[in-house]
């Protein structure tokens, strides 16, 4: 029987690559996004439903899930992919900025998950795949709030396994490293008040370091991460975490083998701090 995946944040990057890959492999795909009226390519594909879902809008979440069930009868996999990065000096962040980072990356994920669970509980089957990051297991300078949200996703996912086991649902986490997506463009919100001069040298060194890596072509493609997501959805393994990208493998292996001070010193050395 043809399976169905619902993907949040499917307009670009990892979400879009995943929609295309699952479709290519014969799945029904519910590709959700905030502005589906702008989508031109996915709408042309058979067995792909493009519809509106804003993780900060509960009615749009409920409508998208109902449309998926009405069209395909069942949601086998929920891919919680929608999110963005917030970077900069923490002291520069206002309350609205801080809250939005959590509203999208954490509370939005919670809202979509909670809305789909009654359906999966009724079916006694399903899978939740949550997109985390290497930044859910270790940290870089200036990403304190983004890391806080991804650490939350990791803890939520790990604990949810116990509950989901009772209703036949699996939980999996995909941890990409650096990915060549619009995360570094429109999906990155960078904020720093230069009047807080004590942070300016750190800001310069860290942003220069990331820019240099970008120019060198560092990071994996969205397609590579989508392939790991597809593996997680189809390998039949009782496995929680999946690393996506060579740098993810290297960083997380290094983090696991170092104490806190040694790892911090390594990161500082990499950014010449």
Grade residue 185 by pLDDT with cuts at 50, 70 and 90.
Answer: very low
Going by C-beta distance under 8 Å and a sequence separation of 6 or more, which residues neighbour residue 38? 11
pLDDT over threshold 90, residue 12: yes
H or E segment at 189? strand 188-191
CB 221, CB 103: distance < 8 Å: no
Does residue 218 register a pLDDT over 70? Answer: no
| 150 classed as catalytic | yes
Q: What is the pTM of this model?
A: 0.94
pLDDT at 95 > cutoff 80: yes
Residue 216 confidence (pLDDT) above 60? yes
H or E segment and range at residue 150 = helix 144-165
The one catalytic residue in 132, 133, 178, 220 is: 132
- Flag whether pLDDT at 266 surpasses 90: yes
The pLDDT of residue 140 is above 80: yes
Give the pLDDT of residue 182: 47
Domain CATH for 252: 3.40.50.720
From the list 3, 150, 199, 242, the catalytic residue is 150
Determine the structural domain holding residue 104 and report its residue range: 4-270
**Mean pLDDT on 235-239:** 97
Express each pLDDT in 18-75 by its tens digit: 999 999 999 999 999 999 999 999 999 999 999 999 999 999 999 999 999 999 999 9
CA distance 144 to 245: 22
pLDDT of 183 above 60? no
Q: What span, in angstroms and rounded, lies between the C-alpha atoms of 177 and 137? A: 11
Average pLDDT over residues 5-23: 97
The catalytically annotated residue of 72, 146, 199, 230 is 146
Is 141 in contact with 271 (CB distance < 8 Å)?
yes
Q: Which two tokens stand for residue 247?
A: 């740098």
The rounded distance, in Å, linking the Cα atoms of 154 and 80 is: 12
The rounded mean pLDDT for the chain is 94
Number of domains in the chain: 1
The backbone torsions φ and ψ at residue 13, rounded to the nearest 5 degrees and listed phi first, read: 60, -140
Say if CB 99 and CB 50 are below 8 A apart. Answer: no
Asked whether the beta carbons of 128 and 6 are under 8 A apart, the reply is no
Q: Tell me the per-residue pLDDT of 165-181, one tens digit each, with 9 for 90 and over.
A: 999 999 999 999 987 65
Q: Is 132 designated active site?
A: yes
- Concerning whether 208 is annotated as a catalytic residue, the answer is no
Q: Print burial letters for 132-170: b (CB count within 10 Å at least 16), e (below 16).
A: bbbbbbbbbbbbebbbbbbbbbbebbeebeeebeeeebb
Q: Which residues contact 264 (CB under 8 A, 6 or more apart)?
A: none
217 pLDDT more than 70: no
């Amino acid at each position: 029987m043809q399976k169905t995946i619902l993907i949040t944040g499917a307009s670009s990057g990892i979400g879009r690559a995943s929609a295309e890959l699952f479709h290519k492999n014969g799945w029904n795909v519910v590709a959700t996004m905030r502005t589906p009226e702008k989508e031109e390519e996915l709408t042309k594909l058979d067995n792909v439903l493009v519809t509106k879902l804003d993780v900060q809008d509960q009615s749009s979440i409920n409508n998208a899930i109902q449309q998926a069930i009405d069209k395909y009868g069942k949601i086998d996999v929920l891919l919680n992919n929608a999110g963005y990065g917030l970077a900069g000096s923490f002291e520069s962040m206002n309350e609205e900025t801080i809250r939005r980072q959590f509203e999208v990356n954490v509370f939005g994920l919670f809202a979509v998950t909670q809305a789909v669970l009654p359906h999966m509980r009724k079916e006694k089957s399903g899978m939740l795949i949550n997109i985390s990051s290497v930044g859910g297991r270790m940290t870089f300078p200036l990403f304190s709030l983004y890391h806080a949200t991804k650490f939350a996703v990791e803890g939520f996912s790990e604990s949810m396994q116990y509950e989901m086991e009772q209703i036949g649902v699996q939980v999996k986490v995909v941890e990409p490293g650096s990915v060549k997506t619009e995360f570094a463009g429109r999906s990155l919100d960078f904020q720093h008040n230069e009047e807080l001069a004590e942070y300016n040298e750190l800001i310069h060194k860290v942003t220069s370091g990331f820019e240099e890596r970008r120019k060198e072509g560092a990071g994996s493609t969205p397609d590579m991460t989508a392939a790991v997501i597809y593996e997680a959805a189809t390998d039949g393994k009782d496995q929680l975490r999946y690393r996506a990208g060579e740098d993810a493998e290297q960083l997380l292996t290094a983090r696991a083998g170092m104490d806190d001070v040694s790892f911090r010193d390594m990161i500082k050395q990499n950014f010449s701090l």
